[in-house]
Structure 1
Amino acid sequence: MSHILFFHSAVGLDDGVHAMAQTLRDAGHTVTTPDYYDGRTFESAEQGIAYRDEVGFRTLVDRVNESVDGIDGPVVAAGISLGSAMAQRLGKKDPRVRAAILLHAGGEAKPVEWPPDCALQMHYSVDDPWIDEGMPEHLLRSAARAGARTEHYLYPGASHLFADPTTSDYVKESADLMWDRVLGLLTHLDES
């Protein structure tokens, strides 16, 4: 079974993150949920983004790096929304990471170098207002060109956090399908 580093969204390490992490635990995986907001949670993404901007993204990356420094590999990096940026960054730079699973976000403004032995899986709604047009494709193409296993899944609607059962964005059908796909990748990793 995989050890998954599961990174929270801009609202912080809240009940929704714990519920999503529990889905992975229930499937038999070990899940670590680093809190790079130092215990702060927010009622809205806008408040969380304001905190991110106040603290600075670099500081948050440093907190993530410190929180995972002592963890032995291999690991899977997964994240929700802002947490996807953390998972994506680790996927690109940390040789312990076997896969980056990006939930409700992900992408690059231009092509990047991606390691061929780090799988990439992305999930988001087709009309999600938080997804920047073209950015997912740059990341996906970079990973595919490197020879990495690359999977990209679009879901109907405009719901941003459709897999978080604690939000009004929750869409059970999409969430169930997403978890089937995520667990399928984890099974593949465990068997290889």
Structure 2
Amino acid sequence: MADKPTVTQAMIQAYDDYTHLTLDRRGFMDKLTKLAGSGAAAAAIAPLLAANSAHAAIVPPSDKRVATSDVRFLGETGVMGGYLAIPAFATEPVPGILVMHENRGLNDHMRDIARRLALEGYAALAVDFLSPLGGTPSDEDTAREMVSELKNPETIANAVAARAWLAGHPRTTDRVAAIGFCWGGGLVNDLAVADPELRAGIVYYGRQPATKDVPAIKAAMLLHYAGLDERINAGLQAYRAALLTNDKVFGIHVYPRVNHAFNNDTSAARYNKEAADLAWSRTLAFLKGTMF
């Protein structure tokens, strides 16, 4: 059996630049080839950096403990799509939580996270924020390009509409939180600024809001960041200071020696189980303390 290719931090950084800054696959593969030493080595390493949609779900779609459905609701830009997961065992309305996707759009990994939250007693709505552009495509590069075309004020307004729709669902209480990853983490911060009805926000390695906007936040915030994620972490100290100055309810955890997207178990090179498990346990404890 051939040895598993070695993935270096420089390779991970190159992938992060490609997926979040340049969206230039040719340039990324050229750089990866130089770092790996050959085109063949680069071809073997690239799949380890990317997310693998074939990765087995932690909570399979067939799990009878969760009732799932594709839903539609009216947003700022028109009809929005989403994936709703509700605990099948619930006899009373349960708190709601929005799941904000990465810049890959609403994919199976995000649906899996919604089901995980449903098993914890929440009605989880994974929103497809690419709905205004026709919905999330199967190709991740295309999805990232589409995400870059979204207009932030409209996207935030769609998130506010999603929160209101979930709060009014007959299977939920009016308490709604939001959890977001990467691009979706930044959107959770934006939603917390824009929507005083949001009860709680959980951010995984998402860009921070402008410090001048922090006073508008009413939600309790839990912020997870990766120690090696220099690009996103550049604004973290200013955000922390603004939260403190404005007496907001928040917690910040920075996980040392892990990369951006450390929670995504479909990405072999960047996933860190220890950090992901710890962040998830903190997330569940935070939700229990704020949503019930």
Q: Quick check: TM above 0.5?
A: yes
TM-score by length of 1: 0.85
Q: Which runs of 5+ in 2 are unaligned?
A: 1-93, 168-173
More displaced stretch, 142-151 vs 10-19: 142-151
Residues 22-171 of structure 1 correspond to what in structure 2 (within 5 A)? Answer: 22-38=115-131, 39-41=135-137, 44=140, 47-72=142-167, 73-115=174-216, 117-133=218-234, 135-168=235-268, 169-171=270-272
Cα shift at 1:177: 0.1
Displacement, 1:102?
A: 0.5
Equivalent in the alignment of 2:113: 20
CA distance, structure 1, for counterparts of residue 285 and residue 111 of structure 2: 21
**What's the offset of the Cα at 1:81?**
0.9
Q: How many residues align?
A: 189
Q: Could you say what the CA RMSD is over the residues aligned between the two structures, in angstroms? A: 2.3
Paired with 1:43 and 1:125, the residues of 2 have a C-alpha distance of 26
Inter-partner Cα distance in structure 1 for 2:210 and 2:233: 9
Give the share of equivalent positions with the same residue, in percent: 23
Which 5+ residue runs of structure 1 have no aligned equivalent?
none
Q: Match for 1:11 among 98, 101, 104? A: 104
Distance apart, 1:42 and its partner CA: 6.1
Higher-Rg structure is 2
| Alpha-carbon shift at residue 129 of structure 1 (Å) | 4.4
Query: Could you tell me whether the CA contact under 8 Å between 2:102 and 2:183 is conserved in 1?
Result: yes
State the alpha-carbon separation in 1 of the partners of residues 255 and 263 from structure 2. 11
CA distance in 1 between counterparts of 2:150 and 2:207 reads 21
Q: Which amino acid aligns with 1:77?
A: A
TM-score by length of 2: 0.58
Whichever residue aligns with residue 63 of structure 1, its letter is: N
Shift of 1:132: 4.3
> Whole-Å Cα distance in 1 between the matches of residues 230 and 112 of structure 2?
24
